[in-house]
């Protein structure tokens, strides 16, 4: 289970270091093999490869009415591997799609990660908090 957030910096080549607390399990359980793709909210999704393979099958099995969703997630997917320094390369296309230049926020979301431009994440969280989430709160207790 991945949780928490990390402020990260991309290098000039578009590489991002995976924080150590995630790196070790990803290497031991996934051999450093991951998959990056786009999310409809404007961020990137980073999956351990075995988790992505299950998701990929679910996405591919969706009906024709979900073609745009399939195109976004499957058409944007890139398999990546951590290098010896624990970095992954985010392609120029994916960096552009998520407006990532230098700064990024990595959020642990359970079985995967989201990668956000910090300003966009702040804006999204403010929007989300302003919306009524009573249906979610009715199903959850703090």
pLDDT digit string (tens) for 112-123?
999 999 999 999
Q: How many domains does the chain have?
A: 1
Query: How far apart are the C-alpha atoms of 47 and 33, rounded to whole Å?
Result: 9
Task: Give the domain CATH number at 74.
Answer: 3.40.1550.20
In this prediction, residue 130 carries a pLDDT of 83
DSSP string for 30-44: HTTEEEEEE-TTSSE
pLDDT digits (tens, 9 = 90+) for 14-25: 999 999 999 999
Domain span at 130: 2-138
DSSP 8-state symbol, 116: E
């Amino acid at each position: 289970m991945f949780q928490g957030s990390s402020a990260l910096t991309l290098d000039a080549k578009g590489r991002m270091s995976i924080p150590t607390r995630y790196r070790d399990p990803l290497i031991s359980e996934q051999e450093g093999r991951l998959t990056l793709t786009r999310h409809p909210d404007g961020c990137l999704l980073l999956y351990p490869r075995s988790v992505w393979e299950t998701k990929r099958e679910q996405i591919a099995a969706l009906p024709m009415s979900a073609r745009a969703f399939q195109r976004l997630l499957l058409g944007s997917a890139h398999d990546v591997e951590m290098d010896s320094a624990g970095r992954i390369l985010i392609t120029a296309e994916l960096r552009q799609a998520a407006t990532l230049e230098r700064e990024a926020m990595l959020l642990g979301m359970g079985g995967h990660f989201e990668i956000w431009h910090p300003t966009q994440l702040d804006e999204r969280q403010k929007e989300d908090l302003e919306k009524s989430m009573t249906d979610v709160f009715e199903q959850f207790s703090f």
